[in-house]
Amino acid sequence: MSNAAPLSAAAAIPPGDWDVQVAIIGGGPGGEDCARDLADHGVKVAMINNAPLPGGECLWRGCIPSKAWRHAADIIRDRARDSDKGVVGTHSPQLDWATLEAHRKNVLQTRGELALKADKGVKIDVRHGFASFVDAHTVKITAPDGSESTLSFGAAVIATGAPSFVPPIPGARESLASGGVLTSETIWNLPGAPRRLGIIGGGVIGVEMAQICRDFGADVLMLEGKERILGEVEEEIAKHLTDLLVTEFPVITGARIEEITGQPDSMRIKYADAAGNPGEFLCDYVLLATGKRPNTSKLNLEAAGVSLAGAAIHTDRRGRTNVPHIYAVGDVVGGYMLAHTAATQGRVAAQNLLGEPAEYDQDLDCGVIFSRPQAGFVGLTLAQAKARGIDAAEVKMPMSIDAKAMIALETHGLIKLVADKLSGRIVGVHFLADHTDTLIGAAVMMVSGGLTLQQVAKAIFPHPTQTELFGDLSRRLLARLRRTNGR
């Protein structure tokens, strides 16, 4: 947080007669942002990427393609309320899968080509292939045609992401091979919108895909092994969203998956609910939305002496592994597996390699779940703040009192603000609102900038917008704290 002790000097790139000063393994957000920052400072960088174009999971299998589907789903969902606002004749939208997929793929290809052009424009040596360590200052690169070469480096940054985790459910791997079971990496191969979809896992990916496919017309069942869905999200926010989701499709928590069988278009999930009652669901496909887990088996980390913490690479808050000149960032180190988290960690690693001390602070991180309404968070929950010794308080406001929400008939949800009672510093903001993705930017600046309730309460927000809710929340909490303190 902002009152942390000053950082000690960072270790710069080791000098030597290397092929490149820094080798970066992985071309996703973490590797790419790190490479660009270093190249901007004149550092000779090679980025080894296991795909023809950069972007990593976020671009090709995650954030961007899912939001293309989400946008189409939003259009369909919005039409259902048009007549309530006086617009008639738009209530029967039809999904053209081929056009949607052509649009999605065009966005991905265009962004990938733009990224590669930008990388080469700042003189990053981009290489297509798989990298593995030969020793602590050398990697072997295996090109797509099988040819091999070596590259020596002064420092390295590992940014190889994490693949989807396939739990040991009977029949899961067999059905993964047949195409009946999908992951967040393979769902993009669907030939059309599914009619019935079983989803195992109630995290971010599961919730987003469940609602998207429901909007596309599918019958959906969500099965989550834990007591609640969206364990990453503030508890009250998650409960409110769950209450909305169960009006659209069944959500069974505390579920135990017994078996997955069948072929694509004819799959069967056998499960037991929290009370042990058996159930089964017949569907076209099963989506395993069971999270991601780092897989470093092909990196030959032993040759470089890099240590693991479970499946993830162990790093400090600067991104350094136990080998001082080797860093790791993004999903491969665990924690928040988010594109912007990886990018931030990549920039932190670059700053340290440039000799300027910097750290990644998870307490300032954020995220948006692209459900409808959208859940989101930045900073700490009240419970997290208290666990860190902060005497904190929270205030909340329902979206149902907001004029813009009333006009758009988007009144489900709430916003919560968490602040330090003593200093007034805002340490967390939590959302369930249809436009969280735009509202959260202001909250990010509040938390990362260490703004206080007093500062936000005095800020002039335009009316009518939903950003003015931040001023209202701040003034409400200040008033409550004054009454509590007898002032």
For residue 261, the model assigns a pLDDT of 98
Q: Report whether 308 contacts 297 (CB < 8 A).
A: no
Question: 233 and 176 in one domain?
Answer: yes
Reply yes or no on whether the pLDDT at 397 is more than 80: yes
Question: 387 and 335 in one domain?
Answer: no
Using CA atoms, how far residue 311 sits from 289, 299, 308, 331, in Å, is: 19, 13, 6, 11
Question: 267 and 241 in one domain?
Answer: yes
**Which positions ≥6 away from 169 have C-beta within 8 Å?**
200, 257, 259, 260
What is the number of domains present in the chain?
3
Reply yes or no on whether the pLDDT at 5 is more than 90: no
For residue 200, the model assigns a pLDDT of 98
Count of alpha carbons within 13 Å of 302, Cβ hemisphere only? Answer: 3
Listed residues 328, 362, 396: the one ending a domain: 362
Question: 302 and 270 in one domain?
Answer: no
The rounded percent of the chain whose pLDDT value lies above 90 is 96
For residue 6, the model assigns a pLDDT of 58
Could you tell me which residue, 486 or 458, shows the higher pLDDT?
458
- When pLDDT is cut at 50, 70 and 90, the band that residue 347 belongs to is very high
Q: Report whether 254 contacts 226 (CB < 8 A).
A: yes
Tokens matching residue 440: 């959260």
The answer to whether residue 8 sits within a structural domain is no
Phi-psi sector, 29: left (phi>0), alpha (psi -120 to 50), beta: alpha
Overall average pLDDT of the 116-138 stretch: 98
**Cα dihedral sign, 167-309-140-45:** positive
Of 378, 301, 287, which Cα lies nearest the Cα of 332? 301
For residue 485, the model assigns a pLDDT of 81
For residue 391, the model assigns a pLDDT of 98
Question: 226 and 101 in one domain?
Answer: no
The answer to whether residue 348 sits within a structural domain is yes
Query: Running DSSP on this structure, what letter comes out for residue 7?
Result: P
Reply yes or no on whether the pLDDT at 228 is more than 70: yes
Pairing mode of beta strands 196-200, 219-224: parallel
Q: Give the CATH number, domain containing residue 151.
A: 3.50.50.60
Question: 159 and 56 in one domain?
Answer: yes
Reply yes or no on whether the pLDDT at 319 is more than 70: yes
Q: Give the CATH number, domain containing residue 426.
A: 3.30.390.30
Question: 381 and 358 in one domain?
Answer: no
State the pTM of this model. Answer: 0.95
For residue 7, the model assigns a pLDDT of 67
Reply yes or no on whether the pLDDT at 443 is more than 50: yes
The answer to whether residue 456 sits within a structural domain is yes
Residue 433: domain span = 373-484
Reply yes or no on whether the pLDDT at 296 is more than 80: yes
Overall average pLDDT of the 282-305 stretch: 97
Reply yes or no on whether the pLDDT at 2 is more than 60: no
The residue count of the chain comes to 487
Query: Running DSSP on this structure, what letter comes out for residue 91?
Result: S
Listed residues 229, 254, 288: the one ending a domain: 288
Question: 196 and 158 in one domain?
Answer: no
The pLDDT tens digits for 70-82 are 999 999 999 999 9
- When pLDDT is cut at 50, 70 and 90, the band that residue 8 belongs to is low
Using CA atoms, how far residue 345 sits from 51, 62, 157, 334, 338, in Å, is: 22, 19, 11, 12, 11
The answer to whether residue 327 sits within a structural domain is yes
From CA 165, how far away is CA 288, in angstroms rounded?
A: 8
Question: 256 and 236 in one domain?
Answer: yes
The answer to whether residue 385 sits within a structural domain is yes
Question: 332 and 242 in one domain?
Answer: no
Query: Running DSSP on this structure, what letter comes out for residue 452?
Result: B
Overall average pLDDT of the 240-261 stretch: 98
Reply yes or no on whether the pLDDT at 4 is more than 70: no
State the Rg of the chain over Cα: 24
Average pLDDT over all residues of the chain: 96
Question: 139 and 48 in one domain?
Answer: yes
Q: Report whether 140 contacts 303 (CB < 8 A).
A: no
Neighbours of 163 (CB within 10 A): 16
Consecutive H or E run containing 342: helix 339-353
Reply yes or no on whether the pLDDT at 3 is more than 90: no
For residue 225, the model assigns a pLDDT of 97
The answer to whether residue 1 sits within a structural domain is no
From CA 10, how far away is CA 22, in angstroms rounded?
A: 16
The answer to whether residue 367 sits within a structural domain is no
Helix extents (H) in 391-467: 403-408, 436-448, 453-458
The pLDDT tens digits for 27-39 are 999 999 999 999 9
The answer to whether residue 7 sits within a structural domain is no
Listed residues 242, 259, 288: the one ending a domain: 288
Question: 392 and 458 in one domain?
Answer: yes
Q: Report whether 309 contacts 292 (CB < 8 A).
A: no
- When pLDDT is cut at 50, 70 and 90, the band that residue 12 belongs to is confident
